[in-house]
Amino acid sequence: MSDKKQKRVLGRGLDALLNSDDKNDTKEISTSVNSLEIDINKIEVNPNQPRSNFDTTELENLSNSIKELGIIQPITVRKIKSSKYEIISGERRYRASEIAGLNKIPCYIIGVNSESDVLKMSLVENVQRVDLDPIEIGLSYKRLINEYNLDTESISRIVGKDRSTISNYIRLLKLDPIIQSGIRDRFLSMGHGRALINIDDRKNQLEIYELIIAKGLSVRQTEKVVREFGQKEINSNINSDVSKIYIDATNKFEKIFGSKVKLKEDLNGKILLSAKFKSINDLYTILKKLSN
């Protein structure tokens, strides 16, 4: 394999990283690459892999694709023992191949010995992926800063992203962990998260987060709520008016029905009422009571 082909294998970010002359004085890494099929039982997962969130459905879909077409893009590994290899990038393809029942998978073997170099390559490879969630990307950028003393300008050059974009991902880590989980699980977008960052108090962040989920607010609507919250207007409008009405209505219905009641507003502003009754006779008794 020619030198040009080897560099294309690693990708723009890794190539920039491996040839970095940043202030952290990263030493040159050997990038000799071989490609061959390796017994899947001889491959180990990198314990320091930055990515931790693997969607089960997506893995199943990828596994089905691999059964049909095989692995189009080999994973990247390094040799750690005489007959063992550790994944540098491509753990998702590796996991899907296991599900597909493959005995061997194609791999690029890179001569990297330093644990720190392996971690750095994994981090950079991860932040260039399009299917990572924003929190994983933010955590990866944060590790590059904390563990390798890189600044946003250096990271920008390595991964090919604007400095402002990198800063926005890192700022998401200021959100309450519950909201971070909501972003990772796609209950809300990065745009929602960026709006919520402007609320310093995490209790208030969660209050608006619950409102976003309950009402299905768009990013634009969320930004408006955040602005109003900052002006102290939202407290009286939402907490005092809406919440009191919901509480009062819930209490009255529970008194009439003699059971627990839930009120919920759908995306069209319609109110949904749900209640549980022990039997059809109890329900009939309530209907007679209401008709009177």
Q: Which residues contact 154 (CB under 8 A, 6 or more apart)?
A: 20, 22, 23, 24
CA 195 to chain centre: 17
User: Do 263 and 273 form a contact (C-beta atoms < 8 A)?
Assistant: yes
Of the residues 91, 136, 207, 254, only one is catalytic, namely 91
- pLDDT (tens, 9 = 90+) of the chain, 292 residues, equals 444 433 333 333 444 443 444 443 333 334 445 578 999 999 998 776 666 677 788 888 889 999 888 888 898 888 887 789 988 888 889 999 999 999 999 998 887 766 666 766 766 766 666 567 899 889 888 888 887 788 899 888 877 788 999 999 999 999 999 999 999 888 999 999 999 999 988 989 999 999 999 989 999 999 988 988 876 544 445 555 566 677 778 888 888 877 788 877 765 567 888 888 778 888 888 888 777 6
Q: Which amino acid is at 186?
A: R
Q: Residue 126 has what pLDDT? A: 65
**Cα(67)–Cα(200) distance, integer angstroms:** 49
CA-to-CA distance for 290 and 3, rounded, in angstroms?
Answer: 82
Domains of the chain: 3-169 (3.90.1530.30), 175-231 (no CATH), 246-291 (no CATH)
Q: Is 91 a catalytic residue?
A: yes
Q: Is beta strand 271-275 parallel, antiparallel or unpaired with respect to 43-44?
A: unpaired
Letter for the amino acid at 30?
S
> How far apart, in whole angstroms, are the C-alpha atoms of residue 200 and residue 180?
15
Distance CA 188, CA 206 (A): 13
pLDDT value at position 195? 95
Q: Which two tokens stand for residue 192?
A: 């929602």
13/117 Cα distance (integer angstroms)? 14
What share of residues in the chain are helix, strand, coil (percent, to 5)? 55, 15, 30
Structure tokens at 134: 């924003």
What is the predicted pLDDT for the residue at 189? Answer: 93
**Which CA distances in Å does 132 have to 51, 116, 128, 272?**
8, 22, 9, 36
Q: How far apart are CA 45 and CA 65, in angstroms?
A: 22
Q: Give the torsion sign (CA, 158, 160, 166, 169).
A: negative
- Tokens at residue 92, please? 């998702």
